[in-house]
């Protein structure tokens, strides 16, 4: 009965202000002074992350009719901070870039990594520790003839990386010295493995200690080259032994390695490099949760990393909810398109890779990989990826920008490191229509809740320099109209079917 009375009272109060709202609407909404800048990609490729000439004005007072389903942004309701958006700089990518002429390579790197108006502002890089399957050949930093061992790591050498990855990284750091770097191994040196091969096998128990020191040595030697490794994963895809190279490591083995060897080794060396678990598909959230159940291992762990070649994005929220004290990272996903196609599937891909990933608590998005040649080379034999297209295709100095380039651009240019995800209306959320700006109303702000069943997929952030960034996808076959609602002000926006828009405005006038 009490709830019924409250509902009736709210209805009476709401009805009592409708005439005022109608009167305000007849008077017309007033411009607030804030304006929205829009960057759009259309599916027919006529606009590819293009800045729109006209800015979209905010108004206040009663919102105009026909504005579409609102996307309400509440910057008092904050979620995770963002570390950045970017790509894996594989050895193969770096090899191709080293084949470019110096001026053209610098031009490309500035376009990608600078933080001024001409760049897409990539802010996160993943490196392979040793070779990945997108190298021309397999190597580690401690390769030995069969039958030999090197427990003191006397022969450790960054080797091949000094020819390509390290020179390219130094150029990138000269452009953006604050870029974050994640390191991931595909395999331990073969003499540390049970099968003695680059593909498959497990880490020998007697090599746990030396392998932990191998990680420490890598971090220290990269630091000598001027490259800070912010975080490491312990094994790329630890339950997939089909890559060349690869190594199998189950959750119990990983737990033992962290708490007994790797965690203490990093601590002894006074290294602040973060440990990120798992680095594999979303269909096994039980893997990182198993490790995190061990308090001795968990105390060394910063968070868990995921790929999306299997499972559902919501698995990241499951892990976040179970351990909100640990972070979530999205460490790899390959997205491709056929060369020379006339359309670009930008809406579905941005929804999956940017909106769904960040709405499920990830602090970053890393796509796989940065560059390949027109044949999707280089890659290793017998387990290398022959279909892995780069964000850019490099044919000597010729650069072709592919779908992964534009997907990351829609976030990385404006959602800078340190940005915070905000509440914004999601499909099915209970939202509100504000009736602020009505001069004759009491001091209270009255709201009318209703259910949004048709809100466009979106995600919103507040940046360190005081801007709101809203990324919206129209994944339908019709022109979509929506109303941005922020701080009691409104802006009506239309978005073409299959298009993506990034909208940026100041928090305050």
Annotation says 253 is catalytic = no
Tokens of 38: 């829009």
> Looking at 95, 253, 256, 332, which residue is catalytic?
332
Asked if 504 contacts 36 with a C-beta cutoff of 8 angstroms, the reply is yes
Distance (Å, whole) CA 271 – CA 255: 20
Q: How far is CA 440 from the centre of its chain?
A: 46
Distance (Å, whole) CA 205 – CA 398: 48
Q: Counting runs of H as helices and runs of E as strands, what totals does the chain give?
A: 13, 23
Q: How far is CA 187 from the centre of its chain?
A: 24
Annotation says 332 is catalytic = yes
Instruction: Collapse the DSSP code of 185 into the 3-class scheme (helix H, G, I; strand E, B; otherwise coil) and give the result.
Output: strand
Rounded (10°) angle between helices 165-175 and 102-113 = 60
- The four Cα atoms 92, 96, 98, 103 give a dihedral, to 10 degrees, of -140
Any idea what DSSP says for residue 234?
S
Strand 30-41, strand 371-372: pairing: unpaired
Asked if 372 contacts 87 with a C-beta cutoff of 8 angstroms, the reply is no
Phi, psi of 474, rounded to the nearest 5 degrees: -100, 95
Tokens of 111: 């376009």
Tokens of 371: 């560059």
What is the enclosing helix (H) or strand (E) of 298? helix 295-298
Asked if 198 contacts 190 with a C-beta cutoff of 8 angstroms, the reply is yes
Distances (CA, A) of 380 to 92, 203, 383: 10, 21, 7
Rounded (10°) angle between helices 91-98 and 165-175 = 80
Tokens of 471: 């990324």
Alpha-carbon Rg for the chain, nearest whole angstrom, is 25
> Looking at 95, 237, 253, 489, which residue is catalytic?
237
Distances (CA, A) of 413 to 52, 114, 245, 275, 335: 15, 10, 34, 27, 19
Distance (Å, whole) CA 255 – CA 296: 9
Distance (Å, whole) CA 367 – CA 388: 11
Asked if 451 contacts 478 with a C-beta cutoff of 8 angstroms, the reply is no
Distance (Å, whole) CA 318 – CA 360: 9
Distance (Å, whole) CA 28 – CA 22: 10
* Residues marked as catalytic: 237, 332
């Amino acid at each position: 009965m009490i709830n019924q009375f409250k509902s009736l009272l709210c209805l009476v109060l709401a009805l009592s202000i409708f005439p005022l709202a109608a009167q305000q609407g007849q008077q017309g909404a007033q411009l607030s002074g804030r304006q929205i800048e829009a960057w759009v990609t259309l599916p027919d490729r006529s606009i590819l992350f293009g800045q729109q000439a006209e800015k979209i004005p905010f108004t206040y007072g009663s919102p105009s009719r026909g504005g579409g389903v609102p996307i309400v942004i509440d910057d008092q309701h904050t979620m995770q901070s963002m570390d950045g958006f970017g790509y894996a700089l594989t050895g193969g990518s770096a090899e191709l870039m080293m084949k470019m002429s110096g001026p053209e390579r610098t031009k490309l790197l500035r376009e990608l990594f600078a933080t001024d108006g001409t760049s897409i502002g990539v802010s996160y890089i993943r490196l392979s520790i040793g070779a990945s399957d997108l190298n021309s050949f397999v190597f580690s930093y401690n390769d030995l003839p069969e039958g030999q061992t090197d427990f003191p790591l006397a022969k450790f050498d960054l080797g091949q990386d000094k020819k390509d990855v390290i020179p390219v990284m130094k150029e990138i750091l000269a452009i953006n010295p604050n870029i974050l770097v994640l390191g991931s191994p595909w395999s331990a040196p073969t003499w540390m493995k049970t099968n003695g091969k680059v593909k498959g096998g497990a880490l020998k128990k007697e090599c746990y200690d030396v392998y932990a020191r191998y990680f420490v040595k890598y971090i220290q030697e990269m630091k000598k080259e001027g490259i800070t490794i912010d975080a490491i994963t312990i094994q790329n895809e630890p339950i997939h032994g089909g890559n060349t190279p690869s190594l199998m490591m189950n959750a119990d083995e990983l737990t033992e390695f962290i708490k007994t060897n790797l965690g203490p080794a990093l601590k002894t060396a006074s290294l602040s490099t973060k440990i990120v678990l798992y680095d594999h598909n979303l269909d096994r959230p039980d893997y990182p949760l198993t490790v995190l159940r061990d308090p001795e291992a968990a105390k060394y762990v910063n968070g868990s990393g995921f790929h999306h070649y299997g499972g559902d994005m919501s698995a990241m929220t499951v892990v976040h909810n179970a351990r909100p004290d640990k972070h979530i990272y999205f460490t790899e996903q390959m997205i491709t398109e056929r060369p020379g196609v006339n359309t670009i599937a930008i809406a579905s891909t941005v929804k999956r890779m940017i909106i769904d990933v960040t709405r499920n608590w990830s602090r970053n998005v890393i796509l796989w990989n940065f560059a390949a040649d027109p044949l999707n080379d280089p890659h290793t034999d017998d387990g290398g990826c022959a279909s892995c297209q780069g964000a850019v295709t490099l044919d000597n100095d010729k650069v072709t920008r592919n779908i992964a380039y534009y997907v990351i651009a829609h976030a990385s240019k404006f959602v800078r490191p340190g940005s915070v995800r905000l509440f914004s209306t999601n499909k099915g959320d209970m939202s509100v229509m504000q009736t602020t700006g009505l001069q004759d109303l009491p001091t209270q702000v009255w709201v009318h809740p209703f259910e949004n069943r048709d809100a466009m997929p979106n995600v919103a952030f507040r940046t360190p320099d005081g801007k709101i960034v809203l990324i919206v996808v129209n994944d339908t076959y019709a022109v979509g109209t929506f109303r941005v609602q922020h701080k009691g002000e409104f802006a009506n926006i239309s978005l073409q079917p299959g298009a993506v828009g990034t909208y940026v405005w100041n928090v305050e006038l």
